[in-house]
Amino acid sequence: SNMAQQSDKGSVFADLTPEEFSATVDYLKKNLDTKLVSAADAKPTENCIYYVDVKYPPKQQVVDYLDRGGEKPRREALAVVFFGDQEEPNITEYVVGPFPNPSYHRDITLEKFNEKLPYHRRPVIGKEYVDAYDLVYQKEFSTAPQFLKALGYDGSNFAALTTVPRGFQSGDRSTWFVLFLKMLESCFAVQPVGLELLLDHKSLDVSKWKVTKVFYNGAYFSNMAELEKQFNAGEVEVIEIQKVTADNDIGSMNPKVTPQPGAPLQFNPGGNRYTVQKNQVTFQSWSFTYGMNANSGLRLFDIRFNNERIAYEISTQEAIALYGSNAPGGMITRYMDGSFGIGRFSFELVMGVDCPYLATYIDASHLLESETPETTKNAICIFEQNLGVPLRRHYSNMHSMYYGGLASTVLIVRTVSTLINYDYVWDFIFYQNGVIEAKIHATGYISSSFYFADGKEYGSRVGEHTLGTLHTHFINYKVDLDVGGIHNSIMTQDMKFDPFNIPWEPEAKIQRPKVVRSVLETENQAAFELHSKVPRYIHFSSNATNKWGHPRSYRVQIVSFAGDYLPEESPVEKAMGWARYKLSVTKRKDEEGESSSIYNQNDPWNPTVTFSDFINNEDIQNQDLVAWITVGFLHIPHSEDLPNTATTGNAVGFFLRPYNYFDIDPSVNSPDGVFFHSK
């Protein structure tokens, strides 16, 4: 049949439920031989649960279960615990299981990472920020009352933005906090006040933290006291913060005209043509499961067309942004969003703007920095969309008069994550002809620096004192295609012109295009650097052939406008090393499950996951393969990025397209087909 069959076996990929999160916490609190404090209150010297997620069984077990009547794998959780209160403070990862009533736990840190996880690699939790802000606003600010008064600080009108990385070598934990003007109904991130403070918060003893450098409007000072001294000596020119009014608020999204309903809308005359049951979705010939990782975001599993698996997993892995600026916080910034939480910050979607009114909205739960799970309402939407363009059509007016066509309607799974200032719209799109598209749109607020001196070398001035700073976005996806079975090879196709003597006119020569094919043998051959020449067609291909004798395959087509990635001599380059490659294909391993790690952000000099280690020249012929795809764009901000970057032109992603996989386009089986003729 070409309609997807329903089955509940996909529940093996389900995110943990609130009950399962709580059971994990309860189990750990009872069974870890130590005192656990809620992360919401934990001091650096205490122990706390940082994060809990589902722990997937090994792929082999799952596939045995799904395809071969194997036993249902046990359901387990992964729990990340911060141990500040130990001889050797560290991060430990446990597996806890089985649900519904956990009865065992196992420390998997060493087997997973081949090392213990030093405590300094831990993500900064809310409590650590609160302590940092207390120090800045209370202790440090109290040493510069005159300067702050002249600047326009009123005791509560500043917002601080953290930057990363936090230093220059392993073990450092020194953060530049950039100060902005808080806005009432608009965003602070485009209102820098010119002041930035470097706080060393490495010590586990909060009382030992201190501000080690201050930046104001182009000049550096030892601390706020020195800035105050120089200010009082008349050596600092202060640019007083101006009141931002509705009129000159470059960040305001309050419409300048009275909103008027009337924009075109979609309706579904036949009701929903897809089903969503628990974590499992069907749409015509498609079926798949969806889930959300609090760190890395959306993840789909067991993606099938006509009930045959095409991909075991398609998931977002990481998003980074590398900035340039003439101000300190801006110039060092390399955000790894996964360590902040792409899924965690996927907030409630707004009907009619983020997704159509008639979409299906689904809640998502996570447990992070807390002992109780949090549920975000309407965090994921699923809807069918008429793209307003034919998927295919032909109008025949020669020899035979007919018209055939098919409107392109697709199923879209979407989340939108807001990482402080900017917003990413994450889409997975399923077409009626067997194509899957992954697409990310960037929107939200740009990040900014205080505009001074040679600021324009680092972007555009977009406000009175606002420099929109250049940066380059990179996003990494994991694509575990299983095309016609688990064992695949990478085939490439391209063209070349082949000078050819014309058989019927021997003096004439033409430049004849010809197909050039090859099969890549090793991981190293399949690691394509960001701006290297890549064969125009890259396929996951099977040993099986279609009706016409060609290997059944899926083509990977990448759409990206990426800027440059860091040179390899950069000491943080390896921490985001997947961004070196536009595409790399590796032999799939359960132990190489993710291209990034939440521990990389705070110790990029000694990355917990070094993606480039995955590429060790293993044989990739007739193996279970995974593609790691990097897309991105260079963003040199401009005035039209205010109030928000528009999604137009800022969308990148990739297509997975059947290529000699079927014998004919499977959309011939669509119920939407149109055909008519005249005699």
Q: By CB under 5 A, which span of 69-77, 288-296, 458-466, 475-483 interacts with Ca ion?
A: 475-483
- Exposure on the CB side of residue 506, measured as CA atoms within 13 A: 0
Q: Which is nearer to Cu ion, 304 or 635 (CB)?
A: 635
Q: What span, in angstroms and rounded, lies between the C-alpha atoms of 575 and 606? A: 7
Measured from the CB atom, the residue of 56 and 221 that comes closer to a second copy is 221
Residue number with CB closer to a second copy (101 or 267) = 267
Task: In angstroms, give the least distance from the CB of 447 to Cu ion.
Answer: 8
Dihedrals phi, psi of 203, to nearest 5 degrees: -60, 145
At its nearest, how many Å lie between Ca ion and the CB of residue 109?
22
Residues that bind Cu ion (CB under 5 A): 635
- Tokens 């207390």 belong to residue: 134
Q: Which residue is nearest to Ca ion (CB)?
A: 618
- Could you tell me if 483 and 661 are in contact, meaning their C-beta atoms sit under 8 angstroms apart? yes
* Binding residues with Ca ion: total (CB under 5 A): 8
How big is the CA angle at 358 (ends 355 and 361), to the nearest 5 degrees? 65
Q: Closest approach of Cβ 540 to Ca ion, in Å? A: 7
Is 133 designated active site?
A: no
Q: Which is nearer to Ca ion, 196 or 482 (CB)?
A: 482
Print burial letters for 190-216: b (CB count within 10 Å at least 16), e (below 16): bbbbbbbbbbbbbebebeebebebbbb
The piece of 81-89, 546-554, 562-570, 585-593 that touches Ca ion (CB under 5 A) is 585-593
Cβ distance to a second copy smaller for residue 224 or 355: 355
Strand partners, 76: 55
258 binds, among a second copy, Cu ion, Ca ion, none (CB under 5 to 8 A by kind): a second copy
Question: Least distance from C-beta 339 to Cu ion, angstroms?
Answer: 18
Q: Which is nearer to a second copy, 150 or 668 (CB)?
A: 668
**Alpha helices, H only, 166-223:** none
Residue 302 near Ca ion by CB under 5 A:
no
In the complex, the smallest distance separating the C-beta of residue 137 from a second copy, rounded to whole angstroms, is: 13
Name the minimum Å distance from CB 636 to Cu ion: 9
313 sits near Ca ion (criterion: CB under 5 A): no
Task: Figure out which of the listed residues 482, 573, 594, 641 binds Ca ion, where binding follows CB under 5 A.
Answer: 482
Choose, from 15, 337, 423, 624, the residue flagged as catalytic.
337
Stretch in the footprint of Ca ion (CB under 5 A) among 121-129, 173-181, 232-240, 618-626 = 618-626
**Residue 333's closest CA among 196, 456, 425?**
196
| 435 to 474: interface string for Ca ion, x by CB under 5 A | ----------------------------------------
* Rounded-to-integer distance, Cα 471 and Cα 460, Å: 12
* Contact of residue 589 among Ca ion, a second copy, Cu ion, none (CB under 5-8 Å per partner type): none
**Contact of residue 302 among Ca ion, Cu ion, a second copy, none (CB under 5-8 Å per partner type):** none
Q: Is residue 521 part of the contact set for Ca ion (CB under 5 A)?
A: no
Q: Let me know how long the chain is.
A: 679
The CA distance from 322 to 520, in Å, is 32
| Minimum distance from residue 663 beta carbon to Ca ion (Å) | 23
How many whole angstroms separate alpha carbon 80 and alpha carbon 103? 17
Question: Which residues are bridge partners to 107 per DSSP?
Answer: 94
User: Smaller CB distance to a second copy: residue 108 or 651?
Assistant: 651
Q: Report strand pairing: 308-323 vs 286-293.
A: unpaired
Which residue has its beta carbon closest to Cu ion? 635
Range in contact with Ca ion (rule: CB under 5 A) among 109-117, 196-204, 229-237, 619-627 = 619-627
184 contact partners, CB below 8 Å, separation of at least 6? none
Residue 361 CA: distances (Å) to CA of 382, 413, 418: 7, 10, 18
Measured CA to CA, the distance from residue 124 to residue 569 in angstroms comes to 27
Q: What is the dihedral of CA 350, 354, 355, 356, to 10 degrees?
A: 70
Q: Are 335 and 469 in contact (CB under 8 A)?
A: no
618 binds Ca ion (CB under 5 A): yes
Asked whether the beta carbons of 643 and 254 are under 8 A apart, the reply is no
Name the residue nearer to a second copy (CB basis): 100 or 262.
262
Out of a second copy, Ca ion, Cu ion, none, which partner does residue 224 contact, by CB within 5 to 8 A per kind? none
Asked whether position 624 contacts Ca ion by CB under 5 A, the answer is yes
In the structure encoding, which two tokens stand for residue 137, read together?
């606003």
CB nearer a second copy, residue 71 or residue 505: 505
- Give the Cα separation of 205 and 173 in Å (integer): 13
Q: Give min distance, CB of 555 to a second copy, in A.
A: 8
What is the H or E stretch that residue 146 is in?
A: helix 145-151
From 27, 51, 56, 422, active-site residue: 422
Largest CA distance in the chain: 95
In the complex, what is the shortest distance from the CB of residue 179 to a second copy, in angstroms, rounded to a whole number? 12
Q: Is 50 known to be catalytic?
A: no
586-595 burial, b if ≥16 CB within 10 A, otherwise e? bbbeeebbbb
The residue within the footprint of Ca ion, chosen from 31, 616, 621, 639 (CB under 5 A), is 616
Burial 151-188 (b: 16+ CB within 10 A, else e): bbbeeeebbbbbbbbbbeeeebbbbbbbbbbebeebbb
Q: From 179, 134, 185, select the one nearest 157 (Cα to Cα).
A: 179
Binding at 257: pick from Ca ion, Cu ion, a second copy, none (beta carbon under 5-8 Å per type): a second copy
Residue 588 CB, shortest distance to Ca ion, in Å, is 5
- Between residues 501 and 616, which has the closer beta carbon with respect to Ca ion? 616
Just list the catalytic residues.
337, 422
| Contact residues for Ca ion, defined by CB under 5 A | 480, 482, 586, 614, 616, 618, 624-625
